[in-house]
Amino acid sequence: PFEVLIVGGGPAGAAAAVYTARKGFRTGIAAERFGGQLMDTLGIENLPGTTYTEGPKLTDNLRAQVGEYDIDVMDLAQAKSLRPAAEKGGMHALELTNGAVLKGRALILATGARWRNLGVPGEAEYRNKGVAYCPHCDGPLFKGKRIAVIGGGNSGVEAAIDLANIVGHVTLIEFDTKLRADEVLQKKLRSMDNVEIIVNGQTTEITGDGKRVNGLVLKDRESGEDRTIELEGVFIQIGLVPNTEWLKDTGIELSKYGEIVVDEHGSTSLPGIYAAGDATIIKDKQIVVAMGTGATAGLGAFDYLIRNEPV
């Protein structure tokens, strides 16, 4: 059994592990894929103190740092269900899809999130080659270029406003008959002169020249007609889904979007269970924030363990 068992090996889980191991607690990480979203990320330019790195390289660094301590890293370990401790100081039990059961006196949930895909031809092929999901991360790569933002909810409209300040031209495409973003955001977007807003638009394909994106095919849902838009980038903003489906019947409070509710100590609604990173209600889904909240959750678990005797 572990004193601290961490579920997830992205930046949040890795940061938490370093903190709890440095407090002398026997720490384990169970992760489906160590590195998490970093393994899908090319250039990273917004991690303070690091001018430029790449996701797989940052993953190697995290793995090496975790390896400096007595931390048991279980890769390819997917959690299926969780049985919380019956009383404070007791053991939580984590069941994996391979049938194994891992136990921990404190748990840190850091299972991250995944971008919702559009599911059209070209999207996977041109991922990181013009197809992007994170405006904070990749916006500057499209300086002066033509891009589309797909999705007219708050995140799509926020992304369009943000990107319109950087890129040459933005086409915002909403599937529905109207934008769903807050009125104040819509007003701001409409006031920008390098933005075109299209509603009732269904993106059916992202096209490219084999190397990079060069356009998209848009179906007008009213007339049924197709047209193509030439552009260099497509930002897909149709939702970020937390990897928390497996926590639904555990008693851990989730937001209406399925995010784990945490307080300023990283505590969830159950004693001895902490959470960090993209899987939580923490607003900004970024590496530096995942690492920071991972540190907080690690220190939260430390506080819990020194205050509650094992039972």
Q: Look at residues 188, 212, 115, 223 and name the one whose alpha carbon lies nearest to residue 170.
A: 188
The footprint of ligand FAD on residues 133-172 (CB under 6 A) is 133-134, 137
Question: Minimum CB separation from ligand FAD for residue 19, in Å?
Answer: 14
Question: Minimum CB separation from ligand FAD for residue 65, in Å?
Answer: 14
Residue whose token pair is 């070209």: 122
The footprint of ligand FAD on residues 8-37 (CB under 6 A) is 8-13, 30-34, 36-37
Concatenating the DSSP letter of every residue in 196-246 gives EEE-SEEEEEEEESSSSEEEEEEEETTT--EEEEE-SEEEE-S-EEES-GG
Q: How many CA atoms lie within 13 A of 101 on its CB side?
A: 7
Cα separation, 235 vs 164, in Å, equals 12
Cα separation, 10 vs 32, in Å, equals 10
**Is 133 known as a binding-site position?**
no
Q: Closer CB to ligand FAD, residue 77 or residue 305?
A: 77
Cα separation, 263 vs 12, in Å, equals 16
Q: Closer CB to ligand FAD, residue 100 or residue 192?
A: 100
**Is 146 known as a binding-site position?**
yes
**Is 15 known as a binding-site position?**
yes
Cα separation, 54 vs 218, in Å, equals 33
- Whether 138 is catalytic: yes
- Whether 134 is catalytic: yes
Among 203, 207, 268, 286, binds ligand FAD (CB under 6 A): 286
Q: How many CA atoms lie within 13 A of 257 on its CB side?
A: 16
Catalytically annotated residue among 137, 162, 220, 303:
137
Question: Minimum CB separation from ligand FAD for residue 114, in Å?
Answer: 7
Among 111, 207, 237, 267, binds ligand FAD (CB under 6 A): 111
Q: Give SS3 for 11.
A: helix
First to last CA, the chain: 13
Residue 40 is a binding residue for ligand FAD (CB under 6 A): yes
CB 22 within 8 A of CB 301: no
- Whether 193 is catalytic: no
Residue 130 is a binding residue for ligand FAD (CB under 6 A): no
Residue 278 is a binding residue for ligand FAD (CB under 6 A): yes
Residue 53 is a binding residue for ligand FAD (CB under 6 A): no
Residue 107 is a binding residue for ligand FAD (CB under 6 A): no
Residue 110 is a binding residue for ligand FAD (CB under 6 A): yes
Among 246, 274, 302, 304, binds ligand FAD (CB under 6 A): 246
Among 112, 151, 272, 292, binds ligand FAD (CB under 6 A): 112
The token pair that represents 165 in the structure block: 């300040």
Strand partners, 107: 5, 273
| Active-site amino acid positions | 134, 137-138
Q: Using CB under 6 A, list all residues that contact ligand FAD.
A: 7-13, 30-34, 36-38, 40-41, 44, 46, 77-79, 110-113, 115, 133-134, 137, 243, 246, 277-279, 285-288, 290
